[in-house]
Chain A
Amino acid sequence: MDLSPNEKRLLVLLEKVKTADPSGLATEMGVSPESVIQYAYLLADRGLCRVEKEVRTTYALTEEGQRYASEGLPERQLLGSFNEKIPMQELTRHPLARIGIGQMKRKGWVVVRGGMVEKTGNDAPGEDELALRDLSRGGPGLAELRRRNLVTENLETQYRISVTPEGLECARRGLDMSEEAGTLTREQIVSGSWKGLKLRRYSLKAPPRKVYPGKIHPYQRVIEEMREILLCMGFTEIYGGIVQSAFWNFDALFQPQDHPAREMQDTFYLKETLPLPEGYERVRDMHLFGGNTSSTGWGGRWSREKAEQCVLRTHTTCLSIQHLATHPEPPVKAFCINRVYRREAIDPTHLPEFEQLEGIVMDRDVTFRHLLGFLKEFYHRMGFSGVRFRPGYFPYTEPSVEPEVYVPSLGWVEMGGAGIFRQEVTAPFGITHPVLAWGLGVSRIAMLRLGLSDLRLLYKSDIGWVRETPSWLHGLDKNAGVQQCR
């Protein structure tokens, strides 16, 4: 029989041990377990051994799951945080309220009556909580935990190799242990001695060794897609500092100094200050009385100290206005995709830092209709064929518009904001032509594109997920598993 030396060596071993797993055999033979499986499949092709493959599923708690396993599910913790009843308003202040309230209602632990959350007393531990204590219980509880991303599933393949009666018979008849060529050597190729060699056959049934190429992060790929679209549309890229004075981040964009978005609870303030640029007085005057435009300004007071204080940029618009200030002559088409910071607690759909995309177009005679044209074109190229518009409000644009795109699994989804920069924003920098501007949260699109429901996975990467996500994004179901986030 036409067996390779390695197949023969394996068969001889099997004759002794009858049955074994690949790792034991691999040690004996001084080769890798993958190789043993290769040889075993080759023997199995001839009916000399049997390869039993068993795929075992194991479950493990995620980081969040581990926390709940020790502290209890959010709804359980939340339930324990009050007595018989509590006003909904008060309960929503609990840090776990966002997840917990809905779950408590869904599970029938509480009912909401007239703004009060009342316990029903019907709060025995559910299948999911039992499964959280003991994953081996399986069942619907485990499925629920997986759905909530508290448990991950891992597949483990185990092999068992046993010799068949035919194999034993073959081994007992004695085997010719003479050499067969595995990897060809340079000498064999060059000299032509390969012609006389017996070249070993490899089995296609044994799975290949898994190798993971070096690669760009899937989220970065989505960002690169957007950069390419904007570069192709003739936009120049802007990049700039994470630390900005409140002047550039807010004042230059005509956000009044007492605007709620400027307050501590929404913005990361720093103790550092930065000097105001030359000509800052024109921005101050715009706030106070509208400068030399038809605007009334905000009135009230304007504090230089407030403008000098530094913040972590809350949007990339602070870079757009600085770009315009140094490029006041038309035409300007510029974009920026970079990280911005908001003082938000971390949860599946909110992060204190995330990427924002921003585009501006300044030219003679551009109009609101052109803004809508750019938005349509950009979203079409991003793969959204349905785009529609409704009125919006942003402090630094007028008119303002909220674009919506059509996602088959979700319907119409709000996707960023846009408008024409107010004259109060552009006039202090000598910009006399309209500036069309739009921005959007990039992570929102990335979640749609990558089928994620938890934003945190983009930044606290599970390497397993990075490894398994294809670099070519086209074939993905763009909408799988996405929950609508606001």
Chain B
Amino acid sequence: MPVIRLHYRYLEKMVGTDKETILANLPMIGSDIERVEDDHVDVEFFPNRPDLFSVEGVARAMRGFLGMETGLPRYSVSPSGIGFSVDPGLATIRPYLGSAVIRNVNLDEESILSLMGLQEALHWAVGRGRSKVAIGIHDLDAVTPPFRYIAAEKSRAFVPLDFDREMTLDQILDEHPKGKAYAHIVSDFPRYPLIIDARGRVLSFPPIINGELTRVTQETRNLLLDTTGTDERAVATAVNIICTALADTGATVQSVTIGERECPSLAPSERIVSSDDASALLGVSLDPPSLSSLLEKMRYGAEPAGTSHVRVLIPCYRADIMHDWDIFEDAAIAHGYGNFDAEMPRTFTVGAPHPVMAIYAVAREVMSGLGFQEVLPFTLTNEKVLATKMQRPLKDSVLRVMHPISEEQTMVRTDLLPLLLEMCQLNRHRELPQRLYAVGDVVGGTQTLPRAACVSTHAAADFSEAYAIADALCRELAVAVSVEESDDPAFIPGRRGALVSGGKNVGVFGEIHPAVLNAWELEHPVAAVEIDLTAVPGYPGQQGTP
């Protein structure tokens, strides 16, 4: 989640109150305070509220929440007369363009930092790492309108930001740090997106890098915003959020003509919501006037519409309002989460454990009664553990994860026993005898299956101990089995048995093969048992829930 840095001086100026009040209320509008420092605070806002990713946006919300300035913030937009054309060749590459002119900006160090932070956070949260939306901000006075958004030849060259020489688009992808980081978004296309002015000079190579020509400094007075992407709604959201933040600093927003339309409009959208629905969801009685006043605190425009409805004007920067309940949540936030009277409902139900969990519980009880200690090994493991060290072939049904995080965890366990031997290895320094067991899920193909297994290691551990335990476990779990010779290579030939129930192999027991003991660096014999708990009568079948 994006962490936004709020400098107190700028924040206090924008909100119009002291930092203590702001810090105390930040969590109550929906954020996690990460770090409180001497001159700033780092705050994590939720990804559904990109409008809060700047000091300006936070100030706007905070002024409403504190009752200093409520209701819809209105933004006026006049036409700039500037045109911006979109090359139809971009339709399959990066089709959507949003833009705006922002005049009379008064940028100081802090507002530039806030703007850059906002741009960065929007790239992450709305832009999905610039693939969905990328934003460029330019010094309008350095270039000549009208502007064109084109699909350009890869050999075209310009001076990218932070460089002092011309580079072709391909060179930028190969050599520029931003090029290397974002090349994957465009490199498959025959042509690349480019923004040029009336004289053919390059403003930007979206979504990669701006040109040095339009670099924004503290001296910049007029800005041109370009926002390109693959999702029309997200592109518009990014434009609205940046424009409203700059407008809040006193700048003037003007629209740009893109084809037939003027962009942006910064007009609110409308929704009629029911106060009865809000009351039913939140459990507090809200009539239209009281719901309206809560919503005004959250910077909506809201007025009662009849006896049970409220007409809500949603600010253009709120990208998260998809459903009436999104608005009701804001009413709850304005009401204050601490002011709800928590209450238990009268719902009457009778609880019950899941049958598989009930089987696990009995298996634990039996194993504990036999003197074994439970361990809870990982389910993610690797071929060495499951197969190599066990002298077993890897099962065909083993499930491999596609992008493992380490060599230790590349697949899901198909058996418990190997994990128990690994546990013995980890505990070689501990006193013998060691009697360990595990109950839990293994995976075969896409199926999750319940198992129980145990190991006993000490100087006298042998086949007869394993046989006795396997027998006791089967009796206690009411699994009717016959015993046959096993061919499991993890065990010593002649000291191993297979548990067979209903014609199906449901378990194995015996004395672990010395070569396996060597592989695990174990110095004493190990008696071991593993049983498939799907054989337990009453097992509910595949992944059923009661």
Report whether B341 and A300 are in contact in the complex, using a CB–CB cutoff of 8 Å.
no
Is residue B504 contacting chain A, with contact meaning CB distance below 8 A?
no
Q: B residues within 8 A CB of A462?
A: 426-427, 430
Quick one: CB contact mask for A355-366 with B, threshold 8 Å, 1 for yes? 000000101011
- Complex Cα–Cα for A346 and B409 (A): 10
Q: B residues within 8 A CB of A233?
A: 351
Report whether A422 and B323 are in contact in the complex, using a CB–CB cutoff of 8 Å.
yes
Interface-central residue, A231, A388, A463, by most chain B CB under 10 Å: A463
Tell me the minimal C-beta distance from B532 to chain A in angstroms.
16
Report whether B400 and A270 are in contact in the complex, using a CB–CB cutoff of 8 Å.
yes
Is residue A208 contacting chain B, with contact meaning CB distance below 8 A?
no
Quick one: CB contact mask for B341-354 with A, threshold 8 Å, 1 for yes? 11111011111111
Chain A residue with the shortest CB-CB distance to B404: A268
Q: Which of A336-390 contact B (CB under 8 A)?
A: 339, 341, 343-346, 352-353, 361, 363, 365-370, 372-377, 388-390
Report how many A-B pairs have Cβ atoms within 8 Å.
263
Report whether A372 and B401 are in contact in the complex, using a CB–CB cutoff of 8 Å.
no
Tell me the minimal C-beta distance from B283 to chain A in angstroms.
3
Q: Among the listed stretches A20-28, A172-180, A394-402, which one makes contact with chain B, having 4 or more residues with CB under 8 Å of it?
A: A394-402
Q: B residues within 8 A CB of A420?
A: 281, 325
Report whether B280 and A390 are in contact in the complex, using a CB–CB cutoff of 8 Å.
no
- Complex Cα–Cα for A368 and B284 (A): 9
Is residue A192 contacting chain B, with contact meaning CB distance below 8 A?
no
Is residue A45 contacting chain B, with contact meaning CB distance below 8 A?
no
Q: A residues within 8 A CB of B157?
A: none
Chain B residue with the shortest CB-CB distance to A337: B357
The listed residue (B338, B340, B371) touching A213 by CB distance below 8 A is: B371
- Complex Cα–Cα for A213 and B433 (A): 12
Tell me the minimal C-beta distance from A297 to chain B in angstroms.
7
Quick one: CB contact mask for B427-468 with A, threshold 8 Å, 1 for yes? 101100011100001010111100000000000000000000
Contact of A268 with B344 at beta-carbon distance under 8 Å, contacts A239-B354, A391-B28 already known: no
Is residue B487 contacting chain A, with contact meaning CB distance below 8 A?
no
Report whether B543 and A393 are in contact in the complex, using a CB–CB cutoff of 8 Å.
no
Q: Which of B312-347 contact A (CB under 8 A)?
A: 322-326, 328-329, 332-333, 337-338, 340-345, 347
Chain A residue with the shortest CB-CB distance to B34: A486
Is residue B290 contacting chain A, with contact meaning CB distance below 8 A?
no
- Complex Cα–Cα for A485 and B190 (A): 48
Q: Among the listed stretches A162-170, A240-248, A277-285, which one makes contact with chain B, having 4 or more residues with CB under 8 Å of it?
A: A240-248
What size tier do the contact residues of chain B reach? 35 or more
Is residue A461 contacting chain B, with contact meaning CB distance below 8 A?
yes
Chain A residue with the shortest CB-CB distance to B325: A398
Report whether A434 and B281 are in contact in the complex, using a CB–CB cutoff of 8 Å.
yes
- Complex Cα–Cα for A424 and B326 (A): 11
Is residue A234 contacting chain B, with contact meaning CB distance below 8 A?
yes
Tell me the minimal C-beta distance from A81 to chain B in angstroms.
19
Quick one: CB contact mask for B369-390 with A, threshold 8 Å, 1 for yes? 1111111111110000000000
Quick one: CB contact mask for A214-253 with B, threshold 8 Å, 1 for yes? 1111011000000100111111111111110000000000
Is residue A293 contacting chain B, with contact meaning CB distance below 8 A?
yes
Q: A residues within 8 A CB of B443?
A: 242-243
Tell me the minimal C-beta distance from B415 to chain A in angstroms.
15
- Complex Cα–Cα for A224 and B428 (A): 29
Is residue B27 contacting chain A, with contact meaning CB distance below 8 A?
yes
Is residue A12 contacting chain B, with contact meaning CB distance below 8 A?
no
Q: B residues within 8 A CB of A472?
A: none
- Complex Cα–Cα for A185 and B134 (A): 89
Contact of A270 with B375 at beta-carbon distance under 8 Å, contacts A369-B341, A392-B30 already known: no
The listed residue (B345, B352, B429, B435) touching A363 by CB distance below 8 A is: B345
Is residue B21 contacting chain A, with contact meaning CB distance below 8 A?
no
Tell me the minimal C-beta distance from B58 to chain A in angstroms.
14
Report whether B374 and A220 are in contact in the complex, using a CB–CB cutoff of 8 Å.
yes
Q: Among the listed stretches A70-78, A105-113, A119-127, A319-327, which one makes contact with chain B, having 4 or more residues with CB under 8 Å of it?
A: A319-327
Contact of A269 with B401 at beta-carbon distance under 8 Å, contacts A310-B446, A333-B351, A375-B342 already known: yes
Contact of A299 with B347 at beta-carbon distance under 8 Å, contacts A269-B402, A459-B377 already known: no
Chain B residue with the shortest CB-CB distance to A254: B322
- Complex Cα–Cα for A460 and B324 (A): 47
Report whether A391 and B280 are in contact in the complex, using a CB–CB cutoff of 8 Å.
no
Chain A residue with the shortest CB-CB distance to B345: A370
Is residue B48 contacting chain A, with contact meaning CB distance below 8 A?
yes
Chain A residue with the shortest CB-CB distance to B364: A216
Q: A residues within 8 A CB of B445?
A: 272
The listed residue (B283, B344, B412, B545) touching A326 by CB distance below 8 A is: B545
Is residue A271 contacting chain B, with contact meaning CB distance below 8 A?
yes
The listed residue (A242, A274, A367) touching B441 by CB distance below 8 A is: A242
Is residue B89 contacting chain A, with contact meaning CB distance below 8 A?
no
Contact of A260 with B356 at beta-carbon distance under 8 Å, contacts A366-B345, A369-B343 already known: no
Contact of A220 with B323 at beta-carbon distance under 8 Å, contacts A345-B406, A376-B342, A462-B427 already known: no
Report whether A373 and B343 are in contact in the complex, using a CB–CB cutoff of 8 Å.
yes
Q: A residues within 8 A CB of B353?
A: 227, 231, 237
Quick one: CB contact mask for B385-414 with A, threshold 8 Å, 1 for yes? 000000000000001111101100100100
- Complex Cα–Cα for A36 and B370 (A): 30
Report whether B373 and A294 are in contact in the complex, using a CB–CB cutoff of 8 Å.
no
Q: A residues within 8 A CB of B325?
A: 398-399, 420, 422-423
Report whether B375 and A217 are in contact in the complex, using a CB–CB cutoff of 8 Å.
yes
Q: A residues within 8 A CB of B402?
A: 264, 268-271
Report whether B342 and A373 are in contact in the complex, using a CB–CB cutoff of 8 Å.
yes
Report whether B399 and A270 are in contact in the complex, using a CB–CB cutoff of 8 Å.
yes
Tell me the minimal C-beta distance from A266 to chain B in angstroms.
10
- Complex Cα–Cα for A414 and B33 (A): 12
- Complex Cα–Cα for A455 and B370 (A): 28
Tell me the minimal C-beta distance from A84 to chain B in angstroms.
21
The listed residue (B344, B374, B423) touching A374 by CB distance below 8 A is: B344
Report whether B364 and A353 are in contact in the complex, using a CB–CB cutoff of 8 Å.
no
The listed residue (B340, B403, B436, B446) touching A268 by CB distance below 8 A is: B403
Q: A residues within 8 A CB of B338?
A: 388-389
Tell me the minimal C-beta distance from B286 to chain A in angstroms.
12
- Complex Cα–Cα for A215 and B435 (A): 10
Report whether B368 and A242 are in contact in the complex, using a CB–CB cutoff of 8 Å.
no
Report whether B329 and A400 are in contact in the complex, using a CB–CB cutoff of 8 Å.
yes
- Complex Cα–Cα for A326 and B338 (A): 35
Chain B residue with the shortest CB-CB distance to A211: B371
- Complex Cα–Cα for A227 and B49 (A): 36
Is residue A466 contacting chain B, with contact meaning CB distance below 8 A?
yes
Report whether B423 and A461 are in contact in the complex, using a CB–CB cutoff of 8 Å.
yes
Is residue B538 contacting chain A, with contact meaning CB distance below 8 A?
no
Is residue B289 contacting chain A, with contact meaning CB distance below 8 A?
no
- Complex Cα–Cα for A82 and B328 (A): 52
Is residue A258 contacting chain B, with contact meaning CB distance below 8 A?
yes
The listed residue (B30, B322, B427, B441) touching A297 by CB distance below 8 A is: B322
The listed residue (A227, A322, A388, A390) touching B545 by CB distance below 8 A is: A322
Q: B residues within 8 A CB of A240?
A: 448, 543, 545
Chain A residue with the shortest CB-CB distance to B274: A294
Tell me the minimal C-beta distance from A149 to chain B in angstroms.
15
- Complex Cα–Cα for A35 and B344 (A): 61
Report whether A236 and B132 are in contact in the complex, using a CB–CB cutoff of 8 Å.
no
- Complex Cα–Cα for A52 and B305 (A): 91
Q: A residues within 8 A CB of B350?
A: 234
Q: B residues within 8 A CB of A352?
A: 380, 405, 409
What are 23 of the A-B contact pairs (CB < 8 Å)? A212-B373, A220-B364, A220-B376, A231-B352, A235-B349, A237-B351, A264-B402, A271-B400, A290-B323, A300-B233, A319-B545, A339-B379, A345-B405, A365-B280, A369-B283, A369-B342, A373-B342, A374-B344, A391-B28, A393-B47, A460-B377, A463-B375, A463-B436
5 A-B pairs besides A234-B350, A373-B345 with CB distance below 8 A are A214-B435, A345-B406, A366-B345, A370-B345, A390-B27
